[in-house]
Structure 1
Amino acid sequence: MGGEESAVGRARLTEEIRTLRARRQQLVDELRQGDESGDRGDAAQELQGGDELVAIDDRIAELEEILAGGPSDVRGLAAGTEVTLRLPDGATQAYRVVAIPEEIPDGEEDTTFTSDSPLGLAVAGSRPGEMIGFPTPEGKTSVEVVSIRPPD
């Protein structure tokens, strides 16, 4: 994966963290305002706000770990691997592997997949000439692996 693509991915992650922190502060302010007014309102709404805070905190921690280069649970192919597949209609298509969805450049969603996606996991460990199957929203699909080129 090139440096520019990594920079774009990092910028997307950083922007997501900024957005999450702003939403978190907004939720905290809303919850405090409800406490100060003495009108507790709907308890279910407060619980939902608390649940959202936890989810936001978890996502921020996950993104910060990615940015820090911390441990990853990513399995499968290395980011930057180039894969060519023969599709069920006989056409061949070249793909590039990324580690996280945020690294997929705009406009390249159809030619990029993550290493831990069903396709990424199916390709991992396969060799050119092999048929592999993987689940899709429309059902299981089989493709032929034409080539796999690891990153430089």
Structure 2
Amino acid sequence: MTGGPEPLSAVARAAFERELADLRTERETVAVTLREGGGDQVGDRADQADELQRVTELQRLDARIAVIEGRLREGAVAGPPSTDEVGVGSSVTVRFADATETTVQIGEVAEVLDATMVTVDSPLGRALLGHRAGDTVTYDTPEGPTTAVVLSLGDAS
């Protein structure tokens, strides 16, 4: 990623919004157990440990919610992906070492049923980031290092 606001594909935005809704529901559930169990009651060590665990879980949920909200804001202001250089949201046509060609989308979130999605933290995704049409990239596969040529790129939104 470039360090500046990164574009967010429609698929990634939808996945983040689903995760955010789930996290908010989970957070409310945990918060309710704290309110119900709180107060001036003095419990045994097990009760105190349980409450501490719920507080820790609430902090974890709050941190993840903040990250997702920030990424959604960033994606909203980033504009469309560059068509000059591979980045998040790019649609990239590549030719692999075996001469097959395919178009993949560079995203942050893998969709189980989307065989064209390549995440930025996958070997191919990392290799493609920052490259331009005509560049050859090298990346690792289970069979060993291989190459791919960037044929063209565009907006995957």
Smaller-chain TM-score bracket: 0.5 to 0.7
Answer yes or no: is the 8 Å Cα contact 2:127–2:138 preserved in 1: yes
TM-score when scaled to structure 2?
0.65
Distance in 1 separating the partners of 2:136 and 2:127: 11
| 2:106 pairs with 1:98 | yes
Kept in 2: contact 1:95–1:112 (CA 8 A): no
Map of 2:29 onto structure 1: 26
Task: Identify the residue that residue 120 of structure 1 maps to in structure 2.
Answer: 125
Q: Aligned AA for 1:18? A: A
Name the structure, 1 or 2, with higher relative contact order (CA <8 Å, separation 6+).
2
Pick from 83, 94, 110: which aligns with 1:84?
94
The alpha-carbon deviation at position 26 of structure 1 amounts to 0.7
Residue among 125, 133, 137 paired with 2:139: 133
Q: Aligned letter for 1:121?
A: R
Q: Which ranges of structure 1 fall in alignment gaps of 5 or more residues?
A: none
The 1:56/1:95 distance shift into structure 2, 3 A limit, reads farther
Unaligned runs of 5+ in 2: 1-8, 79-84
Does structure 2 conserve the Cα–Cα contact (< 8 Å) formed by 1:86 and 1:144?
yes
SS in 2 for 1:77: coil
Superposed CA RMSD in Å reads 3.2
Contact 1:77/1:121, CA 8 A, preserved across alignment: no
Alpha-carbon distance between aligned partners in 2 of 1:95 and 1:51, rounded to the nearest angstrom = 43
Please tell me whether the aligned partners of residues 84 and 148 of structure 1 are also in contact (alpha carbons under 8 angstroms): yes
Query: Which residues of 2 match residues 54-69 of structure 1 at below 5 A?
Result: 54-69=59-74
Partner of 2:154: 151
* Equivalent residues, number: 136
How far did residue 13 of structure 1 move? 2.1
Identity percentage over the alignment? 27
1:24/1:56 contact within 8 Å kept:
yes
